[in-house]
Structure 1
Amino acid sequence: MDLTVVAYVIYLLVSVGLTVWVARTLSRNGRIFLGDVLHGDEKLADAVNHLLVVGFYLVNLGFVALYLNQDERITDARGVFETVSTKLGVVLLVLGALHLGNVFVLNKIRRRGIMEREQLPPVPPQGWAAPAAGA
């Protein structure tokens, strides 16, 4: 079997496995964060979480497929390891960048919600009182 094909198979198996593992981990642990961002609306948090996971799969697996192409022929085992490690390193960096981007956006939404909640007075105004003399 051609070593380039071996490198392709290893790259696809590991990168798809990593993508699935990261997506499940982010989905499971991110649900709590989304619940806070969305003010405890569990149905909306689940829906947004699912949409984020689907988008994550589409973007990352699309990148993995596009990055599969290898221009040079691999002739030895060292070439297989170098090619696979380079490709997996780039995939992991893309996974990390996507994760940080999601967390950044969701944190901005969360902070905006916290600021809106803090602007509401804890007790509605009961009436107007004239300032005391000498104050």
Structure 2
Amino acid sequence: MDRTVIAYVIYLAVSIALTVWVARTLSRNGRVFLADVLHGDEKLADAVNHLLVVGFYLVNLGFVALYLSGDDTIVDARGVFEALSTKLGVVLLVLGVMHLGNVYVLNRIRRRGLLEREEIPPVRPQGRVAATPGA
């Protein structure tokens, strides 16, 4: 088998495994965060979590597939390692950027919800306080 094909197979196996692991980890640990962002609505949190995981898979696996093709033919073992390190490094960076983007957007939504909760007074005003003279 050609070394280029071997590098492609290793790249696909590692990239897909990393994408699945990151998606499952984010899904499992992000559910609590989503429930807080969505004011305790568990069903909605599960639905949003599932949609985020599907989108995460689509974007990352699409990127992995597009980034598969290489420029040069790999002629030795050193070339295999260099190609794999470059490709996997870029995939890891994309996974990290996707994760940070999701966390940033969800945190903004959470903060907005917290600010809205603080604006609503816990008890309706009961009446007016008379102004004191000279104050």
TM-score computed with the length of structure 1 as normaliser: 0.97
Corresponding position of 1:21? 21
* Alpha-carbon RMSD: 0.8
Q: 1:92 — aligned with what?
A: 92
Indicate yes or no: 2:64 matched with 1:64: yes
Q: For residues 90-119 of structure 1, give each alpha carbon's deviation from its aligned partner in whole angstroms, at most 9, with x where no partner exists.
A: 000000000000000000000000000011
Q: What is aligned with 2:131?
A: 131
Residue 15 of structure 1 and its aligned partner are, at CA, apart by: 0.2
Instruction: Name the count of aligned residue pairs.
Output: 135
Structure 1 residues not aligned, in runs of 5+:
none
Q: C-alpha separation between the residues in 2 aligned to 1:133 and 1:78?
A: 87
Q: Which has the larger displacement, 122-131 or 97-106?
A: 122-131
Q: What is the DSSP-based 3-state SS (H/G/I as helix, E as strand, rest coil) of the residue aligned with 2:130? A: coil
Give the unaligned 5+ runs of structure 2.
none
1:75-114 counterparts in 2 under 5 A?
75-114=75-114
Deviates more, 1:116-125 or 1:4-13: 116-125
User: Helix, strand or coil: the match of 2:83?
Assistant: helix
Where do 4+ consecutive residues of structure 1 move more than 3 Å? none
Q: Give the percent of matched residue pairs that are identical in Structure 1 and Structure 2.
A: 79
Q: TM-score scaled to structure 2, two decimals?
A: 0.97
Q: Hey, what's the Cα distance between the residues in 1 that align with 2:114 and 2:52?
A: 22
Counterpart residue identity of residue 4, structure 1: T
Q: What is the CA distance between 1:61 and its match in structure 2?
A: 0.1
